[in-house]
Amino acid sequence: MMEVHVIRRENRHLYTDILEDYFRIRHQIYVVERKWTELDRPDKREIDQFDTDDTVYLLGLDGRAIVAGMRLVPTTSPTLLSELFPALALNGPVRRRDVYELSRIFVVPNRRGEHAGPRAEAVIQAAAMEFGLSIGLSAFTIVLESWWLPRLLDQGWLARPLGLPVNINSLSTVAVIVDVNDEAWTKICSRRSVPGSTLVWQGLSALERHPVRDPVAAV
Ligand code: COA
Protein backbone atom coordinates (compact mmCIF):
# COMPACT_ATOMS: atom_id res chain seq x y z
CA MET A 1 0.00 0.00 0.00
CA MET A 2 1.17 3.52 -0.65
CA GLU A 3 2.61 5.56 2.20
CA VAL A 4 1.42 9.09 2.79
CA HIS A 5 4.23 11.57 3.40
CA VAL A 6 3.75 14.72 5.44
CA ILE A 7 5.55 17.57 3.68
CA ARG A 8 5.78 20.95 5.33
CA ARG A 9 8.13 23.87 5.63
CA GLU A 10 10.64 22.01 7.83
CA ASN A 11 11.19 18.98 5.57
CA ARG A 12 10.38 20.37 2.13
CA HIS A 13 14.05 20.22 1.11
CA LEU A 14 13.83 16.40 1.22
CA TYR A 15 11.06 16.42 -1.41
CA THR A 16 12.22 19.02 -3.96
CA ASP A 17 11.93 16.73 -6.99
CA ILE A 18 8.66 15.21 -5.80
CA LEU A 19 7.10 18.64 -5.26
CA GLU A 20 8.11 19.63 -8.77
CA ASP A 21 6.28 16.54 -10.09
CA TYR A 22 3.38 17.34 -7.77
CA PHE A 23 2.71 20.80 -9.23
CA ARG A 24 2.93 19.39 -12.76
CA ILE A 25 0.46 16.61 -11.89
CA ARG A 26 -1.88 19.24 -10.45
CA HIS A 27 -1.68 21.08 -13.77
CA GLN A 28 -2.50 17.88 -15.64
CA ILE A 29 -5.44 17.05 -13.37
CA TYR A 30 -6.99 20.45 -12.68
CA VAL A 31 -6.18 22.47 -15.81
CA VAL A 32 -6.12 19.77 -18.49
CA GLU A 33 -8.54 17.16 -17.13
CA ARG A 34 -10.94 19.22 -15.00
CA LYS A 35 -10.56 22.27 -17.30
CA TRP A 36 -10.15 24.81 -14.49
CA THR A 37 -8.46 26.95 -17.11
CA GLU A 38 -8.17 30.04 -14.93
CA LEU A 39 -5.39 28.12 -13.10
CA ASP A 40 -3.31 27.76 -16.27
CA ARG A 41 0.23 29.18 -16.09
CA PRO A 42 2.94 29.39 -18.73
CA ASP A 43 5.24 27.08 -16.75
CA LYS A 44 2.52 24.38 -16.63
CA ARG A 45 2.70 24.08 -12.85
CA GLU A 46 -0.59 24.48 -11.03
CA ILE A 47 0.36 26.56 -8.03
CA ASP A 48 -1.54 29.43 -6.45
CA GLN A 49 -1.61 31.92 -3.57
CA PHE A 50 -2.53 29.16 -1.12
CA ASP A 51 0.70 27.27 -1.76
CA THR A 52 2.81 29.01 0.86
CA ASP A 53 5.33 28.13 3.56
CA ASP A 54 2.41 27.45 5.89
CA THR A 55 0.85 24.91 3.54
CA VAL A 56 1.12 21.22 4.39
CA TYR A 57 1.02 18.59 1.65
CA LEU A 58 0.04 14.98 2.14
CA LEU A 59 1.37 13.00 -0.78
CA GLY A 60 0.63 9.32 -1.33
CA LEU A 61 3.80 7.82 -2.78
CA ASP A 62 4.60 4.50 -4.34
CA GLY A 63 8.39 4.64 -4.15
CA ARG A 64 9.06 8.14 -5.50
CA ALA A 65 5.94 8.16 -7.74
CA ILE A 66 2.95 10.27 -6.71
CA VAL A 67 -0.32 8.36 -6.49
CA ALA A 68 -2.52 10.79 -4.56
CA GLY A 69 -2.34 14.22 -3.00
CA MET A 70 -4.01 16.69 -0.73
CA ARG A 71 -3.25 20.25 0.42
CA LEU A 72 -3.91 21.56 3.92
CA VAL A 73 -3.93 25.27 4.73
CA PRO A 74 -4.31 26.68 8.26
CA THR A 75 -7.50 28.74 8.44
CA THR A 76 -5.55 31.48 10.24
CA SER A 77 -3.95 32.07 6.80
CA PRO A 78 -5.89 33.03 3.65
CA THR A 79 -7.91 30.07 2.35
CA LEU A 80 -10.12 29.25 -0.63
CA LEU A 81 -13.11 29.88 1.61
CA SER A 82 -11.94 33.23 3.00
CA GLU A 83 -10.54 34.70 -0.23
CA LEU A 84 -12.40 33.15 -3.17
CA PHE A 85 -15.70 31.75 -1.91
CA PRO A 86 -16.71 33.68 1.25
CA ALA A 87 -20.38 33.56 0.19
CA LEU A 88 -20.38 29.82 0.91
CA ALA A 89 -20.13 30.41 4.68
CA LEU A 90 -23.22 32.14 6.03
CA ASN A 91 -21.47 33.13 9.28
CA GLY A 92 -18.24 34.13 7.60
CA PRO A 93 -15.15 32.03 6.94
CA VAL A 94 -13.81 29.88 9.76
CA ARG A 95 -10.51 31.24 11.14
CA ARG A 96 -9.26 29.06 13.96
CA ARG A 97 -5.85 27.73 14.90
CA ASP A 98 -7.28 24.25 15.34
CA VAL A 99 -8.97 24.12 11.91
CA TYR A 100 -7.24 23.51 8.56
CA GLU A 101 -8.79 23.73 5.08
CA LEU A 102 -8.43 20.70 2.78
CA SER A 103 -8.18 21.19 -0.98
CA ARG A 104 -6.76 19.74 -4.23
CA ILE A 105 -7.68 16.18 -3.29
CA PHE A 106 -6.74 13.89 -6.17
CA VAL A 107 -5.72 10.43 -7.26
CA VAL A 108 -3.72 10.02 -10.47
CA PRO A 109 -5.96 8.64 -13.25
CA ASN A 110 -4.47 5.15 -13.45
CA ARG A 111 -5.02 4.55 -9.70
CA ARG A 112 -8.67 5.66 -9.48
CA GLY A 113 -11.57 3.34 -8.75
CA GLU A 114 -9.30 0.57 -7.50
CA HIS A 115 -11.00 -2.45 -6.02
CA ALA A 116 -8.05 -4.56 -4.88
CA GLY A 117 -7.10 -3.41 -1.39
CA PRO A 118 -7.94 0.00 0.04
CA ARG A 119 -8.40 2.59 -2.70
CA ALA A 120 -5.91 5.42 -2.82
CA GLU A 121 -8.72 7.96 -2.44
CA ALA A 122 -9.69 6.47 0.94
CA VAL A 123 -6.09 6.14 2.09
CA ILE A 124 -5.32 9.81 1.44
CA GLN A 125 -8.46 10.92 3.26
CA ALA A 126 -7.79 8.61 6.22
CA ALA A 127 -4.27 10.06 6.27
CA ALA A 128 -5.69 13.59 6.52
CA MET A 129 -7.73 12.54 9.55
CA GLU A 130 -4.65 10.89 11.09
CA PHE A 131 -2.67 14.08 10.48
CA GLY A 132 -5.37 16.22 12.06
CA LEU A 133 -5.43 14.00 15.15
CA SER A 134 -1.63 13.97 15.33
CA ILE A 135 -1.26 17.75 15.49
CA GLY A 136 -4.34 18.34 17.62
CA LEU A 137 -6.82 19.80 15.13
CA SER A 138 -10.53 19.77 15.90
CA ALA A 139 -11.93 20.21 12.38
CA PHE A 140 -11.30 20.60 8.65
CA THR A 141 -13.13 22.94 6.34
CA ILE A 142 -13.57 21.95 2.70
CA VAL A 143 -14.99 23.82 -0.30
CA LEU A 144 -16.32 20.98 -2.41
CA GLU A 145 -18.46 20.13 -5.37
CA SER A 146 -21.72 18.92 -3.87
CA TRP A 147 -21.43 15.43 -5.43
CA TRP A 148 -18.67 14.74 -2.90
CA LEU A 149 -20.79 15.41 0.22
CA PRO A 150 -22.62 12.02 0.34
CA ARG A 151 -19.27 10.30 -0.14
CA LEU A 152 -17.87 12.06 2.95
CA LEU A 153 -20.91 11.09 5.02
CA ASP A 154 -20.73 7.51 3.76
CA GLN A 155 -17.11 7.18 4.88
CA GLY A 156 -18.21 8.15 8.39
CA TRP A 157 -17.19 11.82 8.45
CA LEU A 158 -19.51 14.26 10.16
CA ALA A 159 -19.61 16.97 7.47
CA ARG A 160 -21.85 19.94 8.23
CA PRO A 161 -22.60 22.60 5.58
CA LEU A 162 -21.47 26.12 6.45
CA GLY A 163 -24.00 27.60 4.03
CA LEU A 164 -26.19 26.88 1.05
CA PRO A 165 -24.84 25.31 -2.15
CA VAL A 166 -24.00 27.86 -4.84
CA ASN A 167 -23.55 27.30 -8.56
CA ILE A 168 -19.94 28.09 -9.44
CA ASN A 169 -18.90 27.54 -13.07
CA SER A 170 -22.12 25.51 -13.49
CA LEU A 171 -21.22 23.17 -10.62
CA SER A 172 -23.09 23.03 -7.34
CA THR A 173 -20.49 23.90 -4.69
CA VAL A 174 -20.78 23.86 -0.92
CA ALA A 175 -18.50 24.58 2.05
CA VAL A 176 -18.47 22.11 4.93
CA ILE A 177 -16.81 21.67 8.28
CA VAL A 178 -15.80 18.13 9.28
CA ASP A 179 -15.00 17.09 12.84
CA VAL A 180 -11.54 15.67 13.42
CA ASN A 181 -11.83 12.93 16.02
CA ASP A 182 -10.92 9.28 16.65
CA GLU A 183 -14.33 8.13 15.52
CA ALA A 184 -13.95 9.75 12.07
CA TRP A 185 -10.56 8.06 11.66
CA THR A 186 -11.66 4.60 12.80
CA LYS A 187 -14.83 4.80 10.70
CA ILE A 188 -13.06 5.64 7.45
CA CYS A 189 -10.49 2.94 8.17
CA SER A 190 -13.09 0.25 8.83
CA ARG A 191 -15.54 1.29 6.10
CA ARG A 192 -12.87 1.67 3.44
CA SER A 193 -10.52 -1.18 4.47
CA VAL A 194 -7.64 1.14 5.39
CA PRO A 195 -5.51 -0.99 7.75
CA GLY A 196 -4.39 1.89 10.00
CA SER A 197 -1.66 4.50 10.18
CA THR A 198 -0.13 5.44 6.82
CA LEU A 199 1.70 8.68 7.63
CA VAL A 200 5.44 9.09 7.14
CA TRP A 201 7.00 12.04 9.00
CA GLN A 202 10.42 11.98 7.39
CA GLY A 203 12.68 14.73 8.70
CA LEU A 204 10.12 16.11 11.14
CA SER A 205 10.85 16.33 14.84
CA ALA A 206 8.65 14.82 17.54
CA LEU A 207 7.42 18.32 18.43
CA GLU A 208 6.08 18.72 14.92
CA ARG A 209 4.47 15.30 14.95
CA HIS A 210 2.58 14.99 18.17
CA PRO A 211 0.43 17.29 20.23
CA VAL A 212 2.20 18.31 23.42
CA ARG A 213 0.79 20.90 25.84
CA ASP A 214 -0.58 23.29 23.23
CA PRO A 215 -1.15 21.07 20.21
CA VAL A 216 -1.48 23.59 17.41
CA ALA A 217 1.43 25.66 18.70
CA ALA A 218 3.71 23.12 17.04
CA VAL A 219 2.17 23.77 13.64
N1 COA B 1 -18.14 14.87 -10.78
C2 COA B 1 -19.04 13.95 -10.33
N3 COA B 1 -18.69 12.75 -9.81
C4 COA B 1 -17.38 12.45 -9.78
C5 COA B 1 -16.38 13.35 -10.24
C6 COA B 1 -16.81 14.59 -10.76
N7 COA B 1 -15.93 15.52 -11.23
N8 COA B 1 -15.17 12.77 -10.05
C9 COA B 1 -15.40 11.55 -9.52
N10 COA B 1 -16.72 11.37 -9.35
C11 COA B 1 -17.40 10.18 -8.84
C12 COA B 1 -17.28 9.10 -9.91
O13 COA B 1 -18.35 9.21 -10.83
C14 COA B 1 -17.35 7.84 -9.14
O15 COA B 1 -18.67 7.47 -8.89
P16 COA B 1 -19.10 5.94 -8.98
O17 COA B 1 -18.21 5.20 -8.00
O18 COA B 1 -20.53 5.95 -8.58
O19 COA B 1 -18.86 5.56 -10.40
C20 COA B 1 -16.74 8.20 -7.81
O21 COA B 1 -16.74 9.64 -7.72
C22 COA B 1 -15.34 7.66 -7.70
O23 COA B 1 -14.50 8.34 -8.61
P24 COA B 1 -13.26 7.64 -9.32
O25 COA B 1 -12.52 8.70 -10.07
O26 COA B 1 -13.69 6.44 -10.08
O27 COA B 1 -12.36 7.00 -8.19
P28 COA B 1 -11.64 7.46 -6.86
O29 COA B 1 -12.60 7.35 -5.73
O30 COA B 1 -10.43 6.60 -6.80
O31 COA B 1 -11.15 8.99 -7.02
C32 COA B 1 -11.24 11.38 -7.09
C33 COA B 1 -12.01 10.07 -6.78
C34 COA B 1 -12.20 12.54 -6.98
C35 COA B 1 -10.12 11.51 -6.06
C36 COA B 1 -10.64 11.29 -8.52
O37 COA B 1 -11.72 11.14 -9.43
C38 COA B 1 -9.83 12.50 -8.90
O39 COA B 1 -8.66 12.60 -8.56
N40 COA B 1 -10.43 13.44 -9.67
C41 COA B 1 -9.71 14.62 -10.15
C42 COA B 1 -9.44 15.61 -9.04
C43 COA B 1 -10.72 16.21 -8.49
O44 COA B 1 -11.63 16.54 -9.22
N45 COA B 1 -10.77 16.36 -7.16
C46 COA B 1 -11.93 16.96 -6.53
C47 COA B 1 -11.79 18.44 -6.40
S48 COA B 1 -10.42 18.92 -5.38
Where residue 80 falls among pLDDT bands split at 50, 70, 90? very high
* Ligand 1 in reach of 43 Cβ (< 6 A): no
- In DSSP terms, which residues pair with 42 in a beta bridge? none
Kindly state whether residue 196 falls inside one of the protein's structural domains.
Answer: yes
Greater model confidence, 119 or 217: 119
Domain of residue 63 covers: 3-205
Domain contains 213: no
Of all protein residues, the one whose alpha carbon is nearest to atom 35 of ligand 1 is: 106
92-140 pLDDT per residue, tens = 999 999 999 999 999 999 999 988 889 999 999 999 999 999 999 999 9
Q: How far is the CA of 184 from the centre of ligand 1 (A)?
A: 21
In a domain, 218, yes or no: no
- Mean pLDDT score across all residues of the chain: 93
Find the CATH number of the domain harbouring 149. 3.40.630.30
State how far Cα 189 lies from the chain centre.
17
Q: Is 22 left (phi over 0), alpha (psi -120 to 50) or beta?
A: alpha
Q: Is residue 211 part of a domain?
A: no
Closest atom of ligand 1 to CA, residue 114: 30
pTM of the model as a whole:
0.94
The pLDDT tens digits of the residues spanning 19-44 come to 999 999 999 999 999 999 999 999 99
Q: What is the pLDDT of residue 206?
A: 72
CA of 15 to the centre of ligand 1 (A): 27
> pLDDT confidence of 81, banded at 50, 70, 90?
very high
Query: Is residue 110 in contact with ligand 1, taking CB distance under 6 Å?
Result: no
Residue 211 has pLDDT above 60, yes or no: no
Whether residue 212 lies inside any domain: the answer is: no
The burial class, CB within 10 Å (0-12 / 13-18 / 19+), for 75 is buried
Q: Mean pLDDT across the stretch 36-58?
A: 97
Counted domains in the chain: 1
Confirm if 156 and 184 have CB atoms less than 8 A apart. yes
Residue 97 lies in a domain: yes
Residue type, 142: I
